[in-house]
Chain A
């Protein structure tokens, strides 16, 4: 019965579907998440190539953020398997860094910039290990990479939106991971910050690390990313930008709501 269902849902054998993907940075099969009665993400398959930069795009409510959160176990999965570098999530946490949406926290929280970055070392520090000079040095270095070192002692409430975003990125850098998952890192930031962030992300790629970002600005997909995952609850397309980022796919993902002149600006290939 379950086998029949799987076949009907387009999945082959009931044996471990992740076997053949054992070393991919991220492989997801049949991911379904539901808030209430309606699925937010339905039966999503996704494979992220090592050293790639992947944009997750889709309209509002398409389940982009939910996908990231479900992959990380922040929201419960209704079904589906997640493998990170060939291992289950629990065994590979230390290889993942996460940048949540900036608006998801209270920026009046009593803490300084440096303390936020040190949160990235939570796995290393554990409960009781004291924060030592070399930990602090690493946090400073991460702040340096996002151009925020001079802000280390500021209360986080004093930061602008772009600066907040860079502090979040610095915290993810401090996690020293191989796979970076970012939720709308460019949302509501100024041009200078966008530049600084993309430079850091490209630097990570150059080091052979893998980046996956929920992204909303279609005009920069081509410049910033090499792979794209297009979703609207269901998966619409996945692959290298040149192949998957097409007008057809975009119209399918966005339900034909994209204006023709925008399509022209995007200089879409593969039509």
Chain B
């Protein structure tokens, strides 16, 4: 039954509210992944944690103010407005701490985060004990809850999320430049402080719209995990931004769908765990930067180097010392178990030795720098140079009287 329900949720057939939540969470994920990428590239990912924790006193204060004026203390826009105000205050406090004292940013983050969060918890506790207004549901801002999501809440997330993505797109160039080389950006006339401010503003906006869905404790994960996951898949920052958006969107959608199948499953943590699942798969299996790919590459490289060393040893009539080398030679039919090379082995050895001296010459010729830098000790020389270039290299070898016998 659980499986069919999940399928229903994923295909948006679990009813109006669940559909609304899934789409809202997906949009939030896209916005968070894309804007979080710049935070990650600027190496300031944890700033978002301080921002999100600084929202809590704002929620409490906004509730008190709205109740005092006789309104509904749980009006979402009002609560989010209060949250943005204290989050901005926290951001400013962090900035002031690092700028005017010798505190490093991580220390400032720790100080701001805990103080604001502590104050927020005190506020909420007081509100609950003196039971002003109808505070039920305020604690949902901690871990996120979507059960009571209204149509206009979803619209709010959708509009704000789309705006955030638009701003990311418009500012991608200066944000990338500042993240890579702030000194150069500043020298070229880019206002680094303003770009950083815009980036923080984006993160703040995403945090605020994510409060209701993911909750303030875990929104940081939605800002950081998708970019880190995307980094496994690309070496180009523009693509990392896009891929992070996709991963964030998928995490939001799937996470919200899963949590819709059971009322007891909190939305925020499920979304974060979904994002983590994508991260784990990417870390293990991504080509290029993935752990498995790196391990396989290393093994393959090691095998080829041992083979090459073995062949060079044969060419120079040296004994083969390492057992692994001999094993590889035997397995490839290049040597017998007692280390005596086969006919094929001798021919290959000759070729390896000749290529080695060719590479040595190529390394001295400056025009081949690009090709030489690809040399890993094994690349067949024919893959890199044209026949004419090899002939020229051979001519130089003959001239210097070197080469293999």
Residues of A within 8 A of B (CB): 36, 69, 72-74, 90, 93-94, 96, 98, 100, 104-106, 109-112, 115-116, 119-120, 122-123, 125-128, 147, 150-151, 155, 157-158, 160, 163, 171, 175, 181, 192
Contact = CB atoms under 8 A, between A and B. Distances in A.
Given A73-B186, A112-B235, 12 more contacts: A73-B187, A93-B187, A100-B183, A100-B184, A110-B236, A110-B239, A110-B240, A111-B236, A122-B177, A122-B190, A150-B370, A163-B373
Contacts of A105: 180-181
A89 B368 CA distance: 42
B373 A160 contact: yes
A98 B190 CA distance: 13
Given A127-B173, A147-B369, A192-B366, A111 B237 contact: yes
B185 interface: yes
B67 interface: no
B273 interface: no
Contact of B370 (A72, A73, A128, A151): A151
B188 interface: yes
6 contacts: A98-B187, A110-B234, A116-B180, A123-B188, A157-B235, A181-B187
Contacts of A109: 41, 179-180, 237
A69 B183 CA distance: 8
A127 B170 contact: yes
Contacts of A96: 187
B74 interface: no
B401 interface: no
Contacts of A126: 173
Interface in B167-206: 170-171, 173-174, 176-177, 179-181, 183-190
Interface string B220-252: 000000000001001111011000000000000
Given A73-B186, A127-B173, A128-B170, A110 B231 contact: yes
B188 A122 contact: yes
A98 B184 contact: yes
B159 to A, nearest CB: 22
A155 B234 CA distance: 10
A123 B180 contact: no
Given A122-B190, A127-B171, A111 B185 contact: no
Nearest to B43: A106
Interface in B31-48: 41, 43
- Greatest chain B CB density within 10 A among A122, A127, A128 is at A122
A147 B366 CA distance: 9
A90 B189 CA distance: 7
The 8 closest A-B pairs by CB, nearest first: A150-B370, A98-B187, A93-B189, A72-B187, A155-B235, A100-B183, A74-B186, A110-B237
A125 B173 contact: yes
Contact of A111 (B180, B186, B369): B180
A74 B234 contact: no
Interface of B: 41, 43, 102, 170-171, 173-174, 176-177, 179-181, 183-190, 231, 234-237, 239-240, 366, 369-371, 373
A68 to B, nearest CB: 9
B241 to A, nearest CB: 10
Contacts of B102: 36
A171 B177 CA distance: 12
Contact of A119 (B41, B171, B177, B373): B177
A125 B183 CA distance: 19
Contacts of B240: 110
Nearest to B371: A150
Contacts of B369: 147, 150, 192
Contact of B184 (A73, A119, A192): A119
A160 B179 CA distance: 22
A72 B186 contact: yes
A163 B239 CA distance: 24
Contact of A123 (B170, B181, B186, B189): B189
Contacts of A104: 181, 183
A160 B374 CA distance: 12
Nearest to A89: B189
A112 B373 CA distance: 16
Given A104-B183, A110-B231, A192-B366, A122 B173 contact: yes
B386 to A, nearest CB: 14
A104 B187 CA distance: 14
B38 to A, nearest CB: 12
A157 to B, nearest CB: 8
A240 to B, nearest CB: 27
A157 B373 CA distance: 13
Given A122-B177, A150-B370, A151-B370, A110 B235 contact: yes
A49 to B, nearest CB: 22
A45 B174 CA distance: 33
A72 B182 CA distance: 12
A90 B43 CA distance: 28
Contacts of B234: 110
A210 B138 CA distance: 63
B2 to A, nearest CB: 39
Contacts of A90: 189
B373 to A, nearest CB: 7
B181 A122 contact: no
B188 A175 contact: yes
Contacts of A116: 180
A93 B346 CA distance: 64
Contacts of B171: 127
Contact of A74 (B183, B236, B366, B373): B183
- Greatest chain A CB density within 10 A among B185, B190, B240, B370 is at B370
A1 B86 CA distance: 45
B116 to A, nearest CB: 29
- Greatest chain A CB density within 10 A among B173, B181, B185, B187 is at B187
B101 to A, nearest CB: 11
